[in-house]
Structure 1
């Protein structure tokens, strides 16, 4: 059943990659594996204060446009709240945590997409102090396909309205970082949902026993 040490698993991907359905699947798999539902979080957000910061990041204000540096700092402020008040306390209790995005998103979006990698790395080092997920599933998709899917959900938010080259840079950063870190698993999200879920299930079930060995 559940290990004495909680685990932190994150789902990552560009807009339209299918994170929501993947999170539902992984939630069920973790529950089957541990006997308990994981604590689910999202970033930016996940606490009352962090959700207010999320609104500042997501909602465009033409009278006072959010500059790139402020966007980055707001996201790390929200992340710090979430880690301190939700994620670490849950892990300390032996609970598993399932995150909809984490620091890899900032490295890809603000670091790669915005071109702020030095700032992102500096703030990340200061705020996280080496704290990382046990496993990240990155759902990889070409930006044009992902944004087409996202547009079908309804009106796009401020981030989703960025130019295509922003997402191209973010994707390349995701892939580069994944190639350097064996705790990041790349899933081809351009496939049918059934095939994507099959791949997620296979990859996760292979790694769940290994996560226990990393206590």
Structure 2
């Protein structure tokens, strides 16, 4: 799974790299984005790409209890095309979740060592995400989940799952404002080649979601 990530880029760089025209609303870089928090995401409204914030942890529109979101921060790409919670979203409610690294915890004996993982050849990237709108009475939530897959050769020694990072040329394709066959999208996701990655150890300081400063990403030597 993927349970934490970072977004430290300048707003100008984000606007440029994702082809956005309007300023980002209340943008603040973060060293430690955690489930339940708002994440910067991009959708296509049918006319333009639009950036805004979605709460991380999917609350399906039909859910009775909003607390289900804490259990739905990730969606397995292998089964999203058949799962009731994700199938319709895969068809028509896809989003880009913007990041520049993510954290994963490697089990070493009885300990868990946090690592910061980045793409080797570019800084900014987008996770493949799904979103939905939940309403009960006067309350309204826009939430999202991140698609994951089996770890590749690089990641498998760190964790058995990994988030799907979209190749740059596939980002706009992913959020096209049209309905796609979920089965075909599953194959599309399966065929994505993972870009080269790099990783380094960071302190367990990052384990606490309230910690959000440069110490989260400082490398340590074991």
Higher helix share: 1
Higher strand share: 2
TM-score, L = length of structure 1: 0.31
TM-score, L = length of structure 2: 0.30
